[in-house]
Amino acid sequence: MGEHSSLLGVAIRMPSTGVSGSLAAASPTDCRISPSILRGPSDVTAGGRGQNNFFRDRYDVPRLIGAVVARVNRLLINALDRQFRQFVAANWGPRV
């Protein structure tokens, strides 16, 4: 099997190669190995809007799409911060 992943809190195992795959193959089943690719706010926005629409929006409504990308950026930062707090609490106790 490959790396461990989590989708809505449900642990699943995915086939993988490279460093993450090696770590996942050698890890206990209760250990999660995150994918090594982290997408940025423009990637997430383009994924939700569609690549072609995203590029057209950048030309047609740059302020609007800029505001959307900024909002997605804040959401990603908040999600990463929550994940980090849970990791710290699970491994070292409550965050000081």
Instruction: Give the tens place of pLDDT for each residue, 39-54.
Output: 789 888 988 888 899 9
What is the pTM for the complete model shown? 0.55
- Of residues 1 and 58, more confidently modeled: 58
CA-based angle 46:60:70, to the nearest 5?
A: 45
Amino acid at 73: N
Estimate the crossing angle of helix 51-60 against helix 41-49, to 10 degrees. 110
